[in-house]
């Protein structure tokens, strides 16, 4: 099969060279002077020996730009356009002649007009003798002067005829942030792969689109030139689109294939900044940044809230995935906020830390604003504990008979009133603790009846008697 195809190609090339010897040759030069005879226009040199005399005829300078809509598959339509320009554009009493020629099929075309533009539209190179290659289309422009047309400009355009369909493949994804790097996209998000065909045909043909991801056929559709999918992993991925055109009057179907290598990254969705809320000015601080996403860059700066002075941004690429520890910073006394930006090729997240207070003080790091609340908190706990213990003891106290003696008034009147009050407080406290001690020692004791028979007698053992 291969050798037969190669033989046919060589034979086809030989026939082209024999029938069109000028195809691969340089196009002939434009004639300096042509003359009009009725409807026929031909090159003619009317015996002008001094060609510099033509400069007096052409009193202005022209430029010509020639373009085309190629590349085009053989059998499709292609357009050519010539645009003439001059220092002064005068549409009245102007007559131009455009002479087109190409080296693909050696055809020529003449167009007489008073327009500064000339075009060849929907031209079809459909000969079986034309091979896929790059060819030239040349145009010579003449300005009418009496019965002559004098050349004023010439130029050419290079166009390509192909054996396969032509078009452009595009990959698109809606991203809120994307760097200038091409072919880098976000994993786990919908993206679109499309092919825009540029070949034109007089009859609308039917196209079949086949879509491949990493070599696997994903979908086949008729006349639908796009495919949407979600890629669920990071790294390099290969996309390929194959288009087949149904033949209409052609022996073989036309095909076209487009491939793209793209790279997927993980989107950043969450960034947290951890730092101490308070620190002594002599102690350095660090920022611990945790994040998700792949191939990130972390930039941070510290903002002084008291005078709004800004520190310069510092940026780095973390070596570990998911967290990053900034270098140590020593800050003067004040209040600060750390601003952090985490970015990659497909996303960006900005956040800031809580307020960081820096105080002057010793190396212990304990500030006066912390000592006062802690002291009073501990004092309150002590008071609650002592009060609870006192109430418990009072509730456990047993009923005790107390003799009520009526002392002589002179005894109570001794001492000042202040000293009497203090004495009573001391006595009350002493009785309280003595009574509580007695109750603690004897509340579980089992009492027995005494053998004493009368008031004032003492119970004792036999040995004492």
Provide the pLDDT confidence category of residue 182 given band limits of 50, 70 and 90: confident
The predicted pLDDT at position 53 comes to 52
Predicted local distance difference test score (pLDDT) of residue 364: 45
- For the residues 72-92, what does the mean pLDDT come to? 85
Question: Does position 130 have pLDDT exceeding 50, yes or no?
Answer: yes
Indicate the CATH number for domain 271-359: 2.60.40.10
CA distance 93 to 114: 8
Q: Catalogue the long-range contacts made by 5-9 (C-beta closer than 8 Å, 24 or more residues apart).
A: 9/131
pLDDT at 44 over 60: no
pLDDT higher at 46 or 387: 387
CA torsion sign, 85 to 88 to 89 to 94?
negative
214, pLDDT greater than 90: yes
How many whole angstroms separate alpha carbon 273 and alpha carbon 340?
Answer: 8
What does the pLDDT read at residue 213?
97
Q: Which residue in this structure is represented by tokens 């900034």? A: 326
Predicted local distance difference test score (pLDDT) of residue 13: 45
Q: What angle do CA 207, 210, 212 make, to 5 degrees?
A: 160
The better pLDDT of the pair 434, 309 is held by 309
Between residues 69 and 369, which one has the greater pLDDT? Answer: 69
Confidence (pLDDT) at 289: 96
Between these two residues, 412 and 332, which has the higher pLDDT value?
332
Q: What is the pLDDT of residue 372?
A: 57
Q: How many CB atoms lie within 10 A of CB 319?
A: 6
pLDDT at 170: 95
Mean pLDDT of the chain: 78
Q: Which residues contact 13 (CB under 8 A, 6 or more apart)?
A: 131
CA distance 91 to 96: 11
pLDDT of the residue at 329: 85
Note the maximum CA span of the chain.
180
DSSP 330: -
pLDDT band at 37 (very low <50, low <70, confident <90, very high): very low
At 301-327, the pLDDT tens digits run: 999 998 777 778 999 999 889 999 999
Query: Do the domains 167-265 and 21-45+60-162 match in fold?
Result: yes
Instruction: Tell me the mean pLDDT in the region 340-361.
Output: 92
pLDDT at 251 over 80: no
Q: How many residues does the chain have?
A: 465
pLDDT of 16 above 50: no
DSSP state of 51: G
pLDDT average, residue stretch 231-246? 94
The Cα–Cα gap between 133 and 71 comes to: 10
CA distance 204 to 200: 8
| Per-residue confidence (pLDDT) for residue 431, from 0 to 100 | 63
Domain ranges, ordered by start, for the chain: 21-45+60-162, 167-265, 271-359
- Kindly state the helix (H) or strand (E) to which residue 323 belongs, with its residue range: strand 323-325
Prior bond of 71 cis (ω within 30°)? yes
pLDDT at residue 276 tops 80: yes
- Highest CATH level, class, for 21-45+60-162: mainly beta
The residues facing 464 across adjacent strands are: none
The mean pLDDT value for 420-446 works out to: 60
- Going by their DSSP bridges, the two strands 96-102 and 108-113 should be labelled as antiparallel
Residue 395 has pLDDT above 80, yes or no: no
For the CA atoms of 396, 401, 406, 412, what is the dihedral angle to 10 degrees? -20
CATH number assigned to the domain covering 167-265: 2.60.40.10
Give the Cα-Cα-Cα angle 343, 345, 348 (nearest 5 degrees). Answer: 30
- Residue 99: the pLDDT is 93
| Cβ atoms < 10 Å from Cβ of 259 | 11
Residue 173 CA: distances (Å) to CA of 140, 185, 296: 47, 7, 20
Average pLDDT over residues 183-188: 93
Give the pLDDT score at 122: 94
pTM listed for this prediction = 0.63
Question: What's the token pair of residue 385?
Answer: 């504990």
Q: Assign 157 a pLDDT band (cuts: 50, 70, 90).
A: very high
């Amino acid at each position: 099969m291969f050798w037969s195809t190669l033989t046919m190609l060589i034979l086809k090339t030989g026939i082209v060279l024999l029938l069109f010897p000028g195809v691969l040759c340089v196009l002939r030069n434009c004639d300096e002077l042509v003359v009009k005879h009725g409807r026929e226009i031909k090159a003619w040199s009317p015996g002008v020996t001094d060609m510099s005399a033509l400069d007096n005829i052409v009193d202005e300078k022209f430029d010509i730009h020639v373009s085309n809509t190629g590349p085009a598959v053989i059998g499709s339509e292609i357009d050519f356009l010539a645009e003439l320009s001059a220092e002064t554009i005068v549409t009245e009493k102007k007559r131009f002649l455009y002479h087109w020629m190409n080296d693909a099929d050696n055809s020529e075309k003449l167009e007489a007009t008073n327009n500064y533009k000339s075009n060849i539209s929907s031209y079809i190179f459909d000969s079986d003798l034309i091979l896929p290659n790059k060819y030239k289309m040349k145009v010579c422009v003449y300005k009418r002067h009496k019965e002559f047309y004098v050349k004023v400009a010439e130029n050419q355009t290079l166009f390509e005829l192909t054996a396969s369909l032509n078009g452009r493949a595009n990959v698109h994804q809606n991203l809120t942030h994307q760097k200038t790097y091409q072919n880098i996209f976000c994993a786990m998000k919908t993206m679109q792969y499309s092919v825009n065909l540029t070949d034109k045909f007089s009859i609308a043909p039917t196209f079949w689109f086949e879509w491949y991801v990493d070599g696997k056929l994903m979908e086949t559709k008729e006349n639908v030139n796009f495919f949407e999918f979600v890629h669920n992993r990071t790294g390099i991925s290969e996309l390929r689109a194959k288009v087949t055109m149904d033949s209409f009057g052609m022996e073989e179907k036309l095909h076209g294939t487009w491939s793209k290598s793209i790279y997927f990254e993980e989107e950043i969705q969450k960034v947290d900044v951890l730092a101490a809320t308070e620190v002594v000015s002599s102690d350095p601080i660090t920022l611990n940044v945790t994040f998700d996403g792949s191939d990130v860059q972390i930039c941070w700066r510290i903002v002084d809230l008291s005078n709004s002075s800004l520190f310069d941004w510092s940026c780095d690429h973390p070596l570990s995935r998911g967290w990053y520890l900034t270098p140590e910073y020593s800050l003067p006394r004040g209040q600060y906020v750390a601003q952090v930006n985490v970015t990659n090729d497909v996303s960006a997240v900005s956040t800031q830390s809580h307020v960081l207070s820096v105080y002057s003080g010793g190396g212990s790091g304990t500030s006066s604003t912390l000592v006062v609340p802690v002291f009073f908190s501990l004092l309150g706990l002590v008071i609650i504990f002592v009060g609870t213990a006192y109430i418990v003891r009072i509730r456990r106290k047993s009923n005790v008979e107390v003799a009520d003696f009526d002392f002589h008034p002179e005894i109570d009147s001794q001492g000042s009133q202040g000293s009497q009050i203090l004495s009573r407080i001391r006595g009350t406290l002493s009785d309280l603790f003595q009574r509580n001690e007695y109750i603690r020692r004897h509340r579980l004791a089992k009492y027995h009846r005494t053998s004493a028979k009368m008031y004032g007698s003492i119970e004792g053992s036999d040995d004492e008697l």
